[in-house]
């Protein structure tokens, strides 16, 4: 599986995921906050299924594998 999530995109996904999970864990937001698991996982893995489906890629040329 080729990496299709680049550096800044990965950082933003990880931060957003952690923030949403933190808000859900502290009951600041409802259960929907646990959706933060998705951006966190895609940020950590470096691969996003919708990006693959649509042919999008935010990786730089040298980082693609």
Q: In the prediction, which pLDDT does 63 show?
A: 54
Cα 46 from Cα 12, distance rounded (Å): 12
Residue 65 has pLDDT above 90, yes or no: no
What's the confidence (pLDDT) of residue 27? 96
pLDDT digits (tens, 9 = 90+) for 1-54: 789 999 999 999 999 999 999 999 999 999 999 999 999 999 999 999 999 999
Domain segments of the chain as ranges: 7-63
Angstrom distance (rounded) from CA 33 to CA 17? 9
| Three-state SS sequence of 11-39 | HHHHHHHHHHHHHHHCCCCCHHHHHHHHH
Mean pLDDT of 50-64: 84
């Amino acid at each position: 599986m080729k990496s299709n999530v680049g550096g800044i995109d990965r950082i933003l996904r990880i931060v957003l995921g952690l923030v949403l999970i933190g808000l859900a864990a502290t009951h600041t937001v409802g259960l929907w906050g646990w959706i933060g698991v998705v951006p966190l996982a895609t940020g950590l893995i470096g691969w996003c299924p919708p990006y693959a489906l649509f042919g999008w890629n935010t990786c730089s040329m040298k980082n693609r594998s």
